[in-house]
Every structure is written in structure tokens, then in C-alpha cells.
A = this chain, B = another copy of it.
Amino acid sequence: MPDEQRTGLPYDPIDEARRQWEAHGWEDGSHGMAAVTSVMRAQQIYMARVEAVLRPLGITFARYETMMLLYFSRRGALPMGVIGSRLQVHQTSVTNAVDRLEAAELVKRTPHPSDRRATIVEITEAGRILALKATEALNTEVFAHPGLGQGDMAELIAILARLRREAGDF
């Protein structure tokens, strides 16, 4: 039973947690807790929508991001390490994602021409086609209706850009 049916009042669990925090004398962290928890929950909401759209196409968000990075790159190809640093994920996560993409023939590995330690990942024609199809699906089914007004959306992007900058993202 939704809480508003019990209390007659809409009830925001995160705001309730913030009140609990302050009731316990944790004023120094209450707003940070609410901000962090809100971001976690927003990600959960968006991720569920995105993965629901991508699942029928046989890819995950991590793999979609990898493909789009290649799609937008000048040569359609990047070294493994660059992919990891751009997406801010661990080397082994890149290896894992590229393994799966390569098995599906959406990308292919190529030796680096001058540095024989390095591996270049290149998007295939099938990869480009799927990336385009996935993007169109995401645009119409998720990104065009993000559950926020234009103003909120612009403000959200700007605030999170400041957070990402503070965290050393760019």
C-alpha cells in the first residue's frame, strides 16, 4: 500500500531520511546524504529505462557507451586504455566489454601500428548500424522524455557538471 493512502499526505522517503538525520543530530551530513541518495535513486530510475530499451538489442549501457565512443571518434577506433579513461572505468572492465562486443562482431581488435603493447578497438559496420539503432531507440523512448522540464534539465546538467569538475572529471 502506497504511503499516501495511509497518511493522506505524499511522503518522500529521502526527505524523511533527512529529517531522521537531523533528529539524530547529524546536521552536518543531512543535506549531503539527501543529495547522494537522490543521485543514487535517479540513476536507478534512468538505468532501468535505458537497459529496458537496450536489452532487446542485446547490449548493455556499458557496451553502448563503448560503441558510441568509437562511433564518434575520427577513425572509429581507439586504444583500450583511452576507452577506459574516457568512460572512467577499470581496464579490466574495458577488456570485458570489448570481449563481448567482439564476440557479437560489433567491434574488432587490431594491433597498434607503432606500439606493440597496445590494442586498437575498431567499430565494425554492424556495430555502427546497431549503435545508430540503439541511439534512435534511446532518443525516442528515454531521452526525449526524461521526466523533467527544460529548465530543471538544464539546471541539473549544470550542477552535475560542477560536481564532475570538482571530482576531476575534466
Contact = CB atoms under 8 A, between A and B. Distances in A.
Contacts of A15: 161
Interface in A21-78: 26, 28-36, 38-47, 50, 61, 68, 72
Contacts of A159: 148, 152, 155-156, 159
A135 interface: yes
Assign chain A's interface to a size class. 35 or more
Nearest to A36: B46
B170 A148 contact: no
Given A10-B170, A33-B143, A154-B31, A88 B41 contact: yes
Contact of A142 (B30, B32, B88, B162): B32
Contacts of A165: 10, 12
A117 interface: no
A104 interface: no
A103 interface: no
Given A32-B146, A143-B32, A156 B38 contact: yes
A45 B156 CA distance: 16
Given A20-B72, A38-B164, A156-B38, A88 B145 contact: no
A58 B29 CA distance: 22
Interface of A: 2-4, 10-15, 17, 20, 26, 28-36, 38-47, 50, 61, 68, 72, 86, 88, 135, 138-140, 142-148, 150, 152-157, 159-167, 169-170
11 contacts: A4-B170, A12-B164, A13-B169, A15-B161, A17-B72, A28-B139, A28-B144, A29-B143, A32-B153, A39-B160, A147-B163
